[in-house]
Structure 1
Amino acid sequence: MAGAGMRDVKRRIKSVESTMQITKAMQLVASSKLRRAKERVETARPYFNTLYETICAMAAGNTDKTNLYTRPREVRRKAYVVIAGDRGLAGGYNVNILRFAESQMDPETALVIPVGKRAVDYFSRRAYETRVFQEYAAVESIDLERSFELARLLTDLFRSGEADEVVLVYTEFASMLSQVPACRKILPLSFTAEELEGHSPADTFGAAEFDPSIGDVMARIVPQFVGGMIFGAISESFASEQAARRTAMEAASDNAEEMISSLSLAYNRARQGAITQEITEISSGFEALR
């Protein structure tokens, strides 16, 4: 390898080292954000568990078949809340959830409410009716209060008949190495027999009475329940995004280290060869002078 080639290798080594510094920094940032996301989920979980128990008990005791939030109706239009990430460099996270979301939809009847900058960009360029609320476009900025605000918007869509079903499409955080796309209907409320078992009003509330009725109290609590579901889905998705990014950046850093090792070996071999060649030339010149 000539001197010019060695200089090229040296430049490549420096370039890869610079890239590795960036990937390692992004890995650390993702780890920190993931830790905070998991803490947020754990902190809010007792409240949402209680809310879930309450709504199950009310659904089990509700005898009003005309209740807006529980009665079945013809589904002509579905609203999909699709939660993706705000940035790239997260492996297949964004691609996986967006493709999964499309697989669940009929473009003729779907109303898409994207959450996350990648989801906004993706559906804005496709043949779906899309309703973008800029205050919910960035996942990282959505806290519990904003989740409740979004829930009120969704329940208004449902109550007005603009949407006959509301569906959450998000990514479940299974583990650091496993994030699974998920689809869950949140309106109208529907529970399986197993979910309602042991959740009668008497079991949950004892001798409590509802005034004016369970249905009226449900009308107050359902938006909070929907807000809790949204906040949980956003938290799971955000944790999944950070886990995917951390894994991707860790793999990129490992690949960079391997490349640096390979380039350094090639550089050292070339350098050793150049030194050997110089020694040989000096020895040959010395022999010629004798």
Structure 2
Amino acid sequence: MASGNMKDIKRRIKSVQSTMQITKAMELVASSKMRRAKERALAARPYFNTMYETITRLAAETRDSDSVYTRRRDVKNSLYIVIAGDRGLAGGYNANLFKLAAASMEGKHAQVVTIGKKAQEHYAKRDWPVAADYPGIAETMKISDTHAIVSRMLGMFREGKVDEVFLCYTQFVSPLQQEPKCIQLLPASFERAEQGGKPAGARVLTEYDPSPEAVFDAIIPEYLYGVLYGAVVESYCSEQSARRMAMEAASDNASEMIENLNLSYNRARQAAITQEITEIVAGSGEVGA
């Protein structure tokens, strides 16, 4: 009986060791991808910051204008761009984002543009209409790849098919922290940051040709290209970071399980040896009698 129990434990130890080898390998792969994705995310931020500062200055110049991109409407239809992962085994990365998006869409007549295979699969089983799917583009994303997505979004907004556009993604804060966010893209709103009461200094006078309004309307798509690209890069980096953490936790759990199984195996082995010694002693006593 003890021998059979020992075989089961050894089989279980081998199974857990095989699983731990997989989780360790996935952890290393995720770590490598996270480093490259983090470099992309950090490289994209200066471009976005410069673009945002530029468009904020333009917004200040055109504050009294009536741009189609800033005009407020009665909201009847909403569009949500949801950026999730292409694979699972990333802890609560995808679930947390879907939960935030669902809370934001609650009570609205909304449709969805999905980026990532998991977002595609998630909304295929939900009641929200899907306007477009873009799976498998995050890892090799270039800013030119955002043009088709943004053009579709702007077309729907200009034609009045949607009255507001939101972007749901996961911001990379640190390798240990990822924060799901949902921001409004359209109608656009730009507010200059306050300078804490300090004098602003000399103001640069900029002349816009043909007009600040025309330049503002022309630069909005460029701004949205940068925002969407930055969101995809941040989300991909967050996905790899979350997967690395999940695989690290799985490897630690497997190691702890193997340790407990080894302890159980040693106990079963000791019990089997004790039983054999007892049987030998008992048998020798009967022979001597």
Give the structure-2-normalised TM-score: 0.91
Check 1:137–1:161 CA distance in 2 against 1; reply closer, same or farther (3 A cut): farther
Determine the C-alpha separation between the residues in 1 that align with 2:44 and 2:63: 31
Determine the C-alpha separation between the residues in 1 that align with 2:53 and 2:250: 44
- Cα deviation 1:118-142 (Å, max 9, x = unaligned): 11111111111211234x5543343
Indicate conservation of the 8 Å contact 2:2/2:271, yes or no: no
Indicate conservation of the 8 Å contact 2:26/2:244, yes or no: yes
What secondary structure sits across from 1:169 in the alignment? strand
Tell me the equivalent position of 1:287.
285
Larger mean CA deviation between 118-127 and 273-282 belongs to 273-282
Gaps of 5+ in 1: none
What secondary structure sits across from 1:277 in the alignment? helix
Tell me the equivalent position of 1:188.
187
Identity among equivalent pairs (%): 51
Larger mean CA deviation between 64-73 and 97-106 belongs to 64-73
Deviation at 1:225, TM superposition (A): 0.5
Q: Which amino acid aligns with 2:154?
A: T
**Map of 1:1-290 to 2, 5 A cutoff?**
2-63=2-63, 65-106=65-106, 109-134=109-134, 136=135, 138-192=137-191, 194=193, 203=203, 206-290=204-288
Deviation at 1:176, TM superposition (A): 2.5
Q: Which amino acid aligns with 2:172?
A: F
Deviation at 1:39, TM superposition (A): 0.2
Q: Which amino acid aligns with 1:283?
A: V
Determine the C-alpha separation between the residues in 2 that align with 1:144 and 1:196: 32
Check 1:185–1:144 CA distance in 2 against 1; reply closer, same or farther (3 A cut): same
Check 1:94–1:102 CA distance in 2 against 1; reply closer, same or farther (3 A cut): same
Which one has the bigger helix percentage? 1
- Cα deviation 1:159-190 (Å, max 9, x = unaligned): 22222111101112222332222110111210
Matched positions, count: 285
Q: Which amino acid aligns with 1:288?
A: E
What secondary structure sits across from 1:91 in the alignment? coil
Q: Which amino acid aligns with 1:162?
A: K
Larger mean CA deviation between 11-20 and 145-154 belongs to 145-154
- Cα deviation 1:60-94 (Å, max 9, x = unaligned): 11145221112222222111001111111111111
Q: Which amino acid aligns with 2:20?
A: M
Deviation at 1:143, TM superposition (A): 2.5
Deviation at 1:111, TM superposition (A): 1.6
Determine the C-alpha separation between the residues in 1 that align with 2:153 and 2:54: 21
What secondary structure sits across from 2:251 in the alignment? helix
Determine the C-alpha separation between the residues in 1 that align with 2:63 and 2:15: 69
Check 1:241–1:126 CA distance in 2 against 1; reply closer, same or farther (3 A cut): same
Determine the C-alpha separation between the residues in 2 that align with 1:195 and 1:120: 40
Deviation at 1:145, TM superposition (A): 1.6
- Cα deviation 1:218-245 (Å, max 9, x = unaligned): 2221111111111111122112211211
Indicate conservation of the 8 Å contact 2:147/2:225, yes or no: yes
Determine the C-alpha separation between the residues in 2 that align with 1:193 and 1:289: 100
Q: Which amino acid aligns with 1:95?
A: A
- Cα deviation 1:176-226 (Å, max 9, x = unaligned): 33222211011121023536999x9x84xx343211111111222111111
Determine the C-alpha separation between the residues in 2 that align with 1:99 and 1:160: 30
Check 1:63–1:153 CA distance in 2 against 1; reply closer, same or farther (3 A cut): same
Larger mean CA deviation between 52-61 and 212-221 belongs to 212-221
Determine the C-alpha separation between the residues in 2 that align with 1:281 and 1:137: 65
Determine the C-alpha separation between the residues in 2 that align with 1:280 and 1:271: 14
Indicate conservation of the 8 Å contact 2:41/2:237, yes or no: no
What secondary structure sits across from 2:95 in the alignment? helix
Determine the C-alpha separation between the residues in 2 that align with 1:68 and 1:27: 47
Indicate conservation of the 8 Å contact 2:120/2:133, yes or no: no
